[in-house]
């Protein structure tokens, strides 16, 4: 069992380019989340999905979009990347969508926007 | 929305000493309080959690206490070891399916000196 995986591991991107970060889980968890982690600012929620077919905005959603076509996959898209989106991005999943459950994190994607 | 404050931001202790990290939250409806440990370059992983119907929970050298009246909860690590060195994050969640999210503190960097 792989758990939760992310791709790519790291990416350097020119400003203005479109980029999709991939996240896949094989635990059949209902809920999935995307966070960005910047130095000294902890984990900030970008978007979340309580169950397949539904998504919601987190704390810092601007400039990002997500989709949840099935249970396993939760891609995060930057439509037109800007330098302020340079960060480490973590995908996570949990068994239920209440938020009151353990979150399992992926290994992260380090994104640099130049 | 929920606001979680975590203190201190950095903590340095001698091996064998105890370490205490405190978090306060703003939403009295929050009822789930997990703690995550993130080693350098790794993903966050749950180490302990507590729900609002419990005042204290212990797992070997790690304990968490919750004071719902004062809206704060703390992580206690006893007999610290160098491998406890990491960033620790607290979080709070209302367990509301419509919200479906946890709010994280900004993290505490713990250094255990041999």
Per-residue model confidence (pLDDT) at position B95:
72
Q: Nearest-CA neighbor of A89 among A113, A107, A62, A103? A: A107
Hey, is the C-beta of A42 within 8 angstroms of any chain B C-beta? yes
When pLDDT is cut at 50, 70 and 90, the band that residue B79 belongs to is very high
Which of A40, A100, A105 lies closest to B93 in CB terms? A100
Q: Nearest-CA neighbor of B19 among B100, B74, B60, B70? A: B74
Hey, is the C-beta of A88 within 8 angstroms of any chain B C-beta? no
Best of A31, A42, A45, A59 to disrupt the B interface (most B CBs within 10 Å) is A42
Hey, is the C-beta of A53 within 8 angstroms of any chain B C-beta? no
Q: Nearest-CA neighbor of B7 among B83, B106, B104, B84? A: B106
Q: Nearest-CA neighbor of A73 among A113, A37, A106, A109? A: A106
Alpha-carbon distance A27 to B86, whole Å?
A: 27
**Tens-place pLDDT, residues A81-102:** 999 999 999 999 999 877 778 8
Hey, is the C-beta of B109 within 8 angstroms of any chain A C-beta? no
What does the pLDDT average to over B95-102?
Answer: 66
When pLDDT is cut at 50, 70 and 90, the band that residue B99 belongs to is low
Alpha-carbon distance A18 to A11, whole Å?
A: 12
Q: Which residue has the higher pLDDT, B100 or B84?
A: B84
Per-residue model confidence (pLDDT) at position A96:
80
Hey, is the C-beta of B73 within 8 angstroms of any chain A C-beta? no
Best of A35, A41, A91, A98 to disrupt the B interface (most B CBs within 10 Å) is A98
Which of A42, A106, A107 lies closest to B104 in CB terms? A42
What does the pLDDT average to over B20-26?
Answer: 97
Per-residue model confidence (pLDDT) at position B113:
96
Per-residue model confidence (pLDDT) at position A39:
80
Q: What is the nearest CA distance from B74 to chain A, expressed in angstroms?
A: 17
Hey, is the C-beta of A56 within 8 angstroms of any chain B C-beta? yes
Low-confidence ranges of chain A (pLDDT < 70): 1
Per-residue model confidence (pLDDT) at position B54:
80
Q: Is the peptide bond before A8 cis (omega within 30 degrees of 0)?
A: yes
């Amino acid at each position: 069992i792989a758990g939760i995986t992310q791709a790519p591991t790291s990416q350097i991107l020119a400003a203005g380019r479109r980029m999709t970060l991939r996240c896949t889980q094989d635990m059949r968890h209902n809920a999935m989340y995307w966070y960005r982690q910047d130095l000294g600012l902890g984990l900030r929620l970008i978007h979340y999905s309580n169950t397949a077919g539904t998504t919601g905005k987190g704390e810092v959603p601007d400039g990002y979009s997500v989709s949840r076509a099935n249970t396993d996959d939760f891609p995060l898209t930057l439509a037109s990347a800007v330098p302020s989106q340079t960060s480490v991005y973590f995908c996570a999943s949990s068994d239920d969508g209440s938020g009151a459950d353990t979150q399992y994190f992926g290994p992260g994607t380090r994104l640099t926007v130049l | 929305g929920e606001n979680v404050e975590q203190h201190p931001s950095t903590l340095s202790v001698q091996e064998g000493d105890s370490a205490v990290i405190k978090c306060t939250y703003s939403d009295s409806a929050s009822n789930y309080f997990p703690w995550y440990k993130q080693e350098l370059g790794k993903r966050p992983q749950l180490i302990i959690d507590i729900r609002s119907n419990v005042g204290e929970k212990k797992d070997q050298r790690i304990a968490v206490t919750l004071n719902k009246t004062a809206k704060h909860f703390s992580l206690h690590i006893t007999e610290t070891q160098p491998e406890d060195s990491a960033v620790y994050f607290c979080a709070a969640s209302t367990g509301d399916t419509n919200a479906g999210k946890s709010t994280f503190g900004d993290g505490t960097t713990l250094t255990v000196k041999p």
